[in-house]
Amino acid sequence: MRALIVTAVAAEADSVAAGLTPHPDPVTPEPRVLPWGSPRTKSGGGYRTSRRDLPGLAVDVLVGGVGPAAAAAATATALALADYSLVVSAGIGGGFQPAAPVGSLVVADAVVAADLGAETPDGFLDVQELGFGHSVHLPPAELAARAAEATGALLAPVLTVSTVTGTAAGAARLAARHPLAGAEAMEGFGVAEAAAAHGLPVLEIRAVSNAVGPRDRDAWRIGEALASLTAGFRALGPVLVHWGEHRHES
């Protein structure tokens, strides 16, 4: 079983990797850099990557950049250069209240492109309603359910947006269109699009750092969310191993 986990920024990747380190020492060894990875700079270059090996599971953790376009490009690059069984979009995000409070986890049962479409006099039409493709990717139902159970996460749609919601009116519009949504983030749908192009299943897990709604940086709890992400991946590792073994047998 080999999984690719895609995050937006290095802090998220470090939190994921910490959760996948079986027996972390007081000083955690530096992760190995994959041959095709290199530190990413503002002027371009490669992608920061690292490897974590657990019994029955090899995981490559990729820092792919912020937003669906960067995430899709980074994921597609990785998938073209190595063989994987599963792709995971992971990181922090906003939670819809009260279902997903700050510090909690959300596992996606649907990865939704929430603002890809057109505004019309009658309201928003997503790209699928416009006839230009699809706007939802569905993770394997059993895997998503097991992941949510193991991590104590809410199992709900996770919305991908290119512009983070920052007003009460914006949050209300999203909630009206997606009443079951648990969280919003900026990369999941891009990761899922690249995975689908390679015929691979996708999973998304988000740790909630703030409430979806009025932008209030003082209320964000990024450290708490990153700690939850680490704890989540500590619980998720065995689930991925079990799912990979079952998938291989079938």
- Nearest Cα residue to 165 out of 146, 183, 191: 183
Which residues are CB-contacts of 66 (< 8 A; sequence separation ≥ 6)? 8, 9, 186, 187
Would you say domain 2-249 falls under CATH 3.20.20.70? no
Which residues are CB-contacts of 159 (< 8 A; sequence separation ≥ 6)? 112, 114, 174, 178, 181, 183, 184, 185
The pLDDT mean for the chain works out to 87
Q: How confident is the model at residue 249 (pLDDT cuts 50, 70, 90)?
A: low
Comparison of pLDDT for 134 and 146, the residue scoring more: 146
* DSSP structural state of residue 218: G
Q: How confident is the model at residue 86 (pLDDT cuts 50, 70, 90)?
A: very high
CB distance 154 to 207 below 8 Å: no
Reported as a single tens digit per residue, the pLDDT across 186-208 is 999 999 999 999 999 999 999 99
Q: Which pair of structure tokens corresponds to residue 186?
A: 């900026």
Going from N- to C-terminal start, the domains of the chain cover 2-249
pTM of whole model > 0.75?
Answer: yes
Task: Tell me the three state secondary structure of residue 159.
Answer: strand
What count of Cα atoms within 13 Å lies in the side-chain half-sphere of residue 242? Answer: 11
CB distance 152 to 207 below 8 Å: no
Q: What per-residue confidence (pLDDT) applies to 61?
A: 92
